[in-house]
């Protein structure tokens, strides 16, 4: 931890010393929520978000805040180690081509609904008890196993021992977006009716967990987390098929690491059960194996958690942006960004200026981010990028 701010209702514990003003104000806002518990934790990859900074952790007493989870509920990472130790570039290009043929990218969906078996089961009750999930279920069957856009990616990598890995970053697609927006609108309406003393401009309307809307949101959110995991698992299967078809029929695949970094969960911290909101943050308990990706030109990390109570047993979810998307498109030099990737022999996804929002220069230095959270995680493996598909 770098420092603690004691200027607000509860402390703000920071794992960085260069937080942008807008994100810092959002951290102060959540620290002044009447239900915020003990302290607020801000990870080293933190940057400005919607209502709450990306890379923030809020523990809430008895309530849940839809915007403190975000619209891409369950967004997270999947990583798999293979028995391969090398892939020649022509084969690697064939693998990436095969992945693009079976995994829809950006706004694209499958033309036909995927089998029900690819969809997660409802943990308690029936599908009819989840109104938004039920209404979107058929559409979600065309979206499971699709990448989406923004910073979502599929990447082929090499570990420190030479083993080939692959990694998938994606979330709950339109399903999570619909759930998030529906319940945030309910929260805004109820908070207005109750005359809650929280400025609407903070965009942090909440739902009490002892009332039906909060309880139903929580259950729909958990389904979206499961859907996002299933989404990544299906893409994992498609990548494995591409590797088998294009490289070798005799590849062994390790146990996947599949984790979320946008969700809320009921956990015990500092002697109390609270709803821990991780928005762009990964759980890092001692039993957890986590994934912290860099940008498409830099290394990613497989990590083990340290259960640090000061971070509510959390760590960063990536490198974190240092430029907004429009800013990166305006200010970064396409030729320079491409040259840096090509110097490392990375098959990258930079084609034109519109792609600069996902260029390495738009992100923080991942080595600095990792150094700042050495009290949160231990590094298990370092993965260097070989080829990248962006949504």
Please identify every residue annotated as catalytic: 317
Instruction: Decide: 222 and 123 in contact? Cβ < 8 Å.
Output: yes
Backbone angles phi, psi at 368, to 5 degrees: -65, -45
CA distance 131 to 179: 9
The distance in angstroms from the start CA to the end CA of the chain is: 34
78 and 232 Cβ atoms separated by less than 8 Å: yes
Gap between the Cα atoms of 54 and 59, Å rounded = 15
């Amino acid at each position: 931890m770098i420092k603690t701010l004691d200027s607000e209702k509860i402390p703000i514990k920071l794992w960085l010393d260069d937080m942008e003003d807008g994100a810092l104000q959002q951290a102060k806002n959540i620290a002044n929520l009447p239900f915020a518990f003990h302290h607020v934790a801000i990870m080293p990859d933190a940057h400005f978000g919607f209502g709450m900074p990306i890379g923030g952790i809020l523990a809430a007493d008895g309530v849940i805040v839809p915007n403190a989870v975000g619209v891409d509920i369950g967004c997270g990472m999947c990583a798999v180690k293979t028995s391969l130790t090398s892939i020649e570039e022509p084969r690697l290009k064939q693998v990436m081509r095969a992945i693009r043929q079976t995994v829809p990218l950006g706004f694209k969906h499958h033309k036909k609904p995927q089998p029900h078996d690819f969809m997660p089961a409802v943990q308690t009750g029936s599908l009819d008890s989840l109104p938004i999930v039920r209404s979107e279920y058929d559409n979600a069957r065309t979206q499971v196993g699709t990448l989406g856009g923004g910073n979502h990616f599929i990447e082929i990598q090499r570990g420190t021992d030479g083993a080939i890995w692959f990694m998938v970053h994606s979330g709950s697609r339109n399903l999570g977006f619909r759930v998030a927006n529906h319940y945030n609108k309910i929260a805004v309406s109820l908070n207005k009716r109750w005359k809650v003393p929280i400025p609407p401009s903070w965009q942090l309307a909440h739902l009490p967990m002892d009332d039906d809307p909060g309880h139903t949101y929580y259950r729909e959110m958990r389904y979206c987390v499961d859907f996002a995991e299933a989404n990544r698992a299906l893409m994992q299967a498609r990548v494995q098929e591409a590797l088998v078809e294009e490289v070798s029929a005799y590849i062994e695949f390790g146990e996947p690491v599949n984790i979320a970094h946008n969700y809320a969960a009921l956990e015990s911290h500092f002697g109390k059960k609270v709803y821990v909101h991780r928005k762009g943050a990964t759980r890092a308990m001692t039993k957890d194996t986590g994934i912290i990706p860099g940008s498409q030109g830099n290394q990613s990390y497989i990590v083990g958690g340290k259960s640090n109570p000061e971070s509510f047993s959390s760590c960063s979810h990536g490198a974190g942006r240092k430029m907004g998307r429009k800013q990166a498109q305006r200010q970064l030099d396409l030729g320079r960004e491409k040259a840096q990737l090509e110097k490392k022999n990375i098959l990258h996804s930079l084609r034109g200026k519109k792609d600069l929002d996902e260029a390495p220069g738009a992100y923080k230095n991942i080595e600095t981010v990792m150094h700042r959270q050495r009290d949160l995680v231990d590094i298990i493996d370092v993965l260097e990028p070989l080829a990248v598909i962006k949504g």
